[in-house]
Amino acid sequence: MIKYIGVNDHKIDLFEGQYIVPNGMAYNSYVVLDEKIAIMDSVDGRFGGLWLENIDATLEGKAPDYLVVHHVEPDHSGSIVAFMERYENAKIVTSQRGLGMINAFYGKDYLQRSVVVGDKDTLQLGKGELTFFSAPMVHWPEVMVSYLNTEKALFSADAFGKFGALDIEDDWACEARRYYFGIVGKYGAQVQALLKKLEGVEIEGIYPLHGPALRENLGYYLDLYNTWSSYKPEKEGVLIAYTSVYGNTEKAVMILKDMLLDRGLYEVSTCDLAREDIHEAIEDAFKYDRLVLATTTYNGDIFPYMKEFINHLTERNYQNRTVALIENGSWAPLAKKKMASMLEDSKNLTILDTGVTILSSISKENLSQIKALAKELCK
């Protein structure tokens, strides 16, 4: 039997110091009740007291035998020391690397109170058996996932996670996509390797460290993870990401958006990178099959927010898309050249020859260029 003993965090403003989480975060922990009792991961140290209360209330006086540590990031390991002090006979179950990272974070050597497991090792709990699969760089090097045969349950660490506390209802795919590409997106090859390891494993429930347990329509979630980690577009559509100093570049963006909608391209998203959440833009850039970058020449380069955005894309292996470029420059427009240069090492990007060069304000020639670009993007 699996029971939830995690906590919700509504005090947090920025997850990992950068991701805006208006709906908070969940730090998930589960207990597997069998002849041996296993606690699956701890929680952020700020909620350690509440978590221990949840354990006590669930176990009703029984003591856990194991604390399984799939991932040592502090939002999941921050209460390990408190747990080990309370339950003196419990053992930590983790990878060799995980054991070393616990010591590095908390100055505790639990070697004599540990069960070190590797890929496809098992742990008998009684009727149930946990099988471990190493998942390095999904998204830290020590990560494991585990499979409980009696429940056909996958404890997936940060895989299949999402932003948002569990007492808030929101769209799973939107916040899971933003979470995936923000945090795990660089490691698509490693996610693909994990998915391959799990081929043939009969899974009826996925229990991530963030977000809800997934027990229905698992094919939907697995298909999305396969698409995301393969860097394939999820939908036909366009993100227009832009910066604008005096409004002329933004005006060009809105003209292009209207032209695309008039041509029947119904999924067109825009993001002012200086004013809106850049991670929402990253999400949409990976969601759609087409991207337009529009910015000004700035100090012989491109506007800083655009440079940051492109850096975010390339470090997450942005690929398999069509990209169009719009530049503005009052005397020496260089933005298209600079943006193309930043993308030149990205795989399977088609950068359209059709582009727009604005010299300060939009001219009749620019309107023709934008019209041509809209036609090219709708092919």
Q: Which tokens sit at 76? A: 């999941």
Give the orientation angle of helix 172-179 with respect to helix 278-287, to 10 degrees: 100
Write the pLDDT tens digit of every residue in 11-40. 999 999 999 999 999 999 999 999 999 999
The CATH number that applies at residue 243 is 3.40.50.360
The residue among 213, 229, 245 that closes a domain is 229
Residue 280 pLDDT more than 90? yes
* Residue whose token pair is 């009703």: 60
Which residues 6+ apart lie within 8 Å of 121 measured at CB?
131, 132
Q: 292 and 342: one domain?
A: yes
Contact (Cβ atoms closer than 8 angstroms) between residue 163 and residue 212 = no
Whether pLDDT at 268 is above 90: yes
Instruction: Tell me: do 145 and 265 sit in the same domain.
Output: no
How much is the pLDDT for 266? 86
Beta strands, E only, 25-113: 25-27, 30-32, 38-40, 66-68, 91-94
- State which residues form the domain around 111: 2-229
Provide the domain count of the chain: 2
Position 242 pLDDT exceeds 90: yes
pLDDT digits (tens, 9 = 90+) for 45-61: 999 999 999 999 999 98
337: left (phi over 0), alpha (psi -120 to 50) or beta: alpha
Identify the pLDDT of residue 128. 97
pLDDT of 379 reads 85
Tell me how long the chain is.
379
User: pTM for this structure?
Assistant: 0.94
Are 255 and 202 members of one domain? no
Are residues 214 and 244 part of one domain? no
Boundary-marking domain end, from 229, 245, 264: 229
170-175 mean pLDDT? 93
Average pLDDT, the chain: 96
